Amino acid sequence: MKLLVFCLFAVCCCSLANSTSNRILQRKKLQEILKQLKDVRQSLQMQQNDQMLNTPENIGDCCSLSALECFRANLQVKFNMTNKKHIKFYRSLNNTITVQGLDFCNSPNGKSTCPDCLSHPKKNANEFFNGLMTLIQRGITRLNSMN
């Protein structure tokens, strides 16, 4: 009986530690993306500051991944992502750890109400990057509050 209780305790501790380490990994990944975004933003804005991009705003919890997809699609289509830093940044946005860190939705069917990327208002590059930065910072804040 003692062995069974000990085994159950060990399993609980491992799952709790795994959950915490996943959140730490997600937070570090989002912080890395934030640093990359600051570098990439300057060079991309200098290239094409007059670009008008569909920019998600007032993003609900269940629409954070939809918004991320919209930001990624705009980056890929509107900007020439051939520079090494740009490619690394784009890949970081596609990383599963990033997606997990930005998945705020607790409802299984909440994603169906998210607006399509093309329905978001078009804004200049500066506002576009501010919106992406806000989404990433929101993910970091959420992960910090879970500890």
Which residues of the chain form beta strands (DSSP E)?
A: 52-54, 122-124
At residue 141 the predicted structure's pLDDT band, cuts being 50, 70 and 90, is very high
Cβ contact 39:85 at 8 Å: yes
At residue 79 the predicted structure's pLDDT band, cuts being 50, 70 and 90, is confident
pLDDT of residue 75: 87
Report how many domains make up the chain.
Answer: 1
d(C-alpha 34, C-alpha 40), whole Å: 10
Cβ contact 102:34 at 8 Å: no
Which residue would you say has higher pLDDT here, 33 or 11? Answer: 33
* 48 domain-assigned: yes
Segments forming the whole domain that contains residue 109: 34-145
Cβ contact 90:81 at 8 Å: yes
Give per-residue pLDDT as tens, 13-49.
Answer: 455 444 578 889 999 999 999 999 998 888 777 766 6
DSSP 8-state class, residue 81: T
At residue 85 the predicted structure's pLDDT band, cuts being 50, 70 and 90, is confident
* 115 domain-assigned: yes
For residue 119, give the CATH number of its domain: 1.20.1250.70
* 87 domain-assigned: yes
Q: Give Cβ neighbours of residue 107 (< 8 Å, ≥ 6 apart).
A: 62
How high does pLDDT run on average in the chain?
83
At residue 9 the predicted structure's pLDDT band, cuts being 50, 70 and 90, is low
At residue 4 the predicted structure's pLDDT band, cuts being 50, 70 and 90, is low
Q: How far is CA 103 from the centre of its chain?
A: 8
Cβ contact 35:89 at 8 Å: no
* 134 domain-assigned: yes
| Residue 75 DSSP SS3 | helix
AA identity, residue 58: N
d(C-alpha 57, C-alpha 27), whole Å: 22
* 1 domain-assigned: no
The whole-model pTM stands at 0.81
